[in-house]
Amino acid sequence: MGFWSGVWEGVKTFGSTVARVAKTAWDIATGPSAKSTYDDLEKIIDKYDSRRSRELQVIDSPNFLSQSAGNALTAKVNEHEDKIEILNTELNYARKFMAIQNEFSRLRNSAELIDRGMANIKIHASSLSTHFQNMRNINGLTDDVNALRGGLKHIMRTFNHNMNVLGANSESTQLRKIEGVDVELRDGAVSLVAAFDAFDKTRELLSEEIHTLSKIASAHSKDILNLKKHAADLDDDLGRNIIKFIDAKIIPVINNAKKGGVVLQEEIDHLPAAARDESGRIIFEDGRLKIRDDNDD
pLDDT at 296 over 70: no
pLDDT reported for residue 49 = 65
Average pLDDT, the chain: 81
Per-residue pLDDT tens for 208-263? 999 999 999 999 999 999 999 999 998 888 999 999 999 999 999 999 999 988 99
Q: Amino acid letter at 48?
A: Y
Give how far Cα 119 sits from Cα of 22, 33, 58, 123, 198, Å.
12, 10, 49, 6, 20
Residue 109, pLDDT above cutoff 80: yes
Tell me the per-residue pLDDT of 145-204, one tens digit each, with 9 for 90 and over: 788 888 888 898 898 888 888 776 666 667 777 787 777 766 555 678 888 899 999 999
| Contact status, residue 121 vs residue 213, Cβ threshold 8 Å | yes
Checking if the pLDDT of 46 tops 90, the result is no
**pLDDT for position 143:** 80
CA-wise closest residue to 48 among 102, 124, 100: 100
Alpha carbon distance, N-terminus to C-terminus of the chain: 11
Residue 216: predicted pLDDT: 94
